[in-house]
Structure 1
């Protein structure tokens, strides 16, 4: 049996909410305005097209309006690393989001995890509910960041699992079906953690901390996965959101878009820009923790998920962070030359409790981390 004592308990939970997949499967007549009311948005309603547009890496890389593309194989090649590192630096400074190609995760590993994640959401509701979240935590099947009975809800369900290190796993929340679920998720978890570590090591060099890259790579020492299910909503797809606008309160996120259905959007220059699924790519984004470590040089970016009128969408976000006994604060290299720290230093466990007690809303965690200048 895995010893989970290294992972603190009662970090924070979420209020129970209706199962959205169940709501979406009901006859249209049952989805009355009263039932939908908790999901219907006002000024932040999508009001955008959710049509899927297939793109390839070359087209994405050449488009000034598309999220940048970073080639990990080039980044790890000594002959090409400097040129690709410049692309990575620009992506982190100017966008906060980028798509990672040639990342080395085997096609079979990606195929297997995709099939098992889709298979989980096809299970009967009662079987999924057996993995429901308990009080004081968000691991398991349910929803997150619901802190009041009157807040607007996301049109989505999720399965949240701690995946790395192995001693952080609560295996009672891991599905027993599909029978291959655990093995495929473990293999995918190890591969994507490697990708995160490689990217963070390159970021460390870009930031001038190549002599001690562990200052950055330590924020890939722990990993959790949020597996998202967004049912279609033909009645009000333009008035609901699958995931509220927010920045990720972690170090580095790597997202696998399981379904070839557009839904992820990032906020850029006041507009919502769609991140079109790029076959074989992982979508990376700078989290709040990296913004803290770099003292604001790299900024986390708000993003959201919209809902399709006819097609379901599945994705899995791998969140990378430091271990619970670590500390977050601006790196010495980020506050050299007399620059004052803009964010406070905080223990990882305390930081996680802050995050899990908050509503998912914009960059509210960063607002809480900022140091207010003395008047």
Structure 2
């Protein structure tokens, strides 16, 4: 099946959005302006351990999102990661289409564009590349881009660095719940935790006030480490309002996902967020999702449940959680 990629639509220099991209009035950015200039939690990972526990725990309770600096990932590696992703999206269509995915058949990994079978449903102004990066035994390198030739080397190196950061954050988050530092990672599958990369590509849009790059959602993963380029667009929802997230070079944006909210029995909040698009510039972001294996049972940690704090969520496999979320069924 031939798919019209958003990148190709943008190249046609259209002046009016095709109808399937025009959001309902209540979802349009022009009708739901975000508050600018609000300082999100900004945390240096070089601080003493007990300070980190307090600051990260507070950020996850109040915002569900924070930025980290001094995380130890070199700016040169970040630049290389962004360059190989940009180079992939500059390839000829026939080369990119070799990696096309097909979510309708369960093939989620690869090059994709958000589509819908329902002609009345709205779609997002985004092309993307998605694939598993860890554990190595589950990684299918055949669907990773062969061009540019350095893609695999750079992405593997970045994955190792992100895994180190995620492990440290899970330790800090566990201690913030009053638990041993190993509890959250163990509850998410230990060394079998899966890492997934999604490169989001939002081309220039003729009517950005009517469209969304990604519609409002929470991440179904445990933690997301996001590396955006310098084109603004990420917004989070808090206290009934949208807030624009400021860009900080080389900082990592960390989102709390649904699995951490469930395990913490609601203490840590899975953040509702959306992505806007730009009229003149291409926005890109590199998201690394950490998630439990599909067969892992996830529910509120027993240590956090008692008569005063009953379980707020049911316990189910991550596979069942994914199925319900994809199909918009009650959890």
TM-score, structure 1 as length reference: 0.81
Whether the aligned pair in 2 keeps the contact of 1:158 and 1:226 (CA below 8 Å) is yes
1:207–1:215 Cα change, 3 Å: farther
Q: Matches of 2:113 and 2:300 in 1, distance apart?
A: 31
Secondary structure (helix, strand or coil) at the match of 1:241 reads: coil
Picking from 263, 271, 279, the partner of 1:301 is: 271
Whether the aligned pair in 2 keeps the contact of 1:266 and 1:273 (CA below 8 Å) is yes
- The residue aligned with 2:218 is 247
Whether the aligned pair in 2 keeps the contact of 1:266 and 1:272 (CA below 8 Å) is yes
Q: Unaligned regions of 5+ residues in structure 2, if any?
A: none
Q: Unaligned regions of 5+ residues in structure 1, if any?
A: 1-14, 54-62, 75-79, 359-364, 370-375
CA displacement at 1:280 relative to structure 2:
1.0
**Mapping 1:25-104, distance limit 5 Å:** 25-28=11-14, 32=16, 36-41=18-23, 42-47=25-30, 65-74=38-47, 80-104=48-72
Picking from 221, 224, 227, the partner of 2:199 is: 227
Whether the aligned pair in 1 keeps the contact of 2:188 and 2:298 (CA below 8 Å) is no
1:40–1:195 Cα change, 3 Å: same
- The residue aligned with 1:339 is 309
Secondary structure (helix, strand or coil) at the match of 1:47 reads: helix
**Mapping 1:219-298, distance limit 5 Å:** 221-233=193-205, 235-257=206-228, 259-298=229-268
Residues 46-77 of structure 1: CA deviation (Å, up to 9, x unaligned): 12899xx9xxxxxxxxx8x2210122222xxx
Secondary structure (helix, strand or coil) at the match of 2:84 reads: helix
CA displacement at 1:336 relative to structure 2:
3.0
Q: Matches of 1:16 and 1:241 in 2, distance apart?
A: 23
Secondary structure (helix, strand or coil) at the match of 1:38 reads: helix
Count how many residue pairs are aligned between Structure 1 and Structure 2.
Answer: 325
Picking from 21, 45, 48, the partner of 2:7 is: 21
Q: Which moved more, 1:212-221 or 1:239-248?
A: 212-221
CA displacement at 1:300 relative to structure 2:
0.8
Report the aligned-residue RMSD: 2.4
TM-score, structure 2 as length reference: 0.91
- The residue aligned with 2:149 is 179
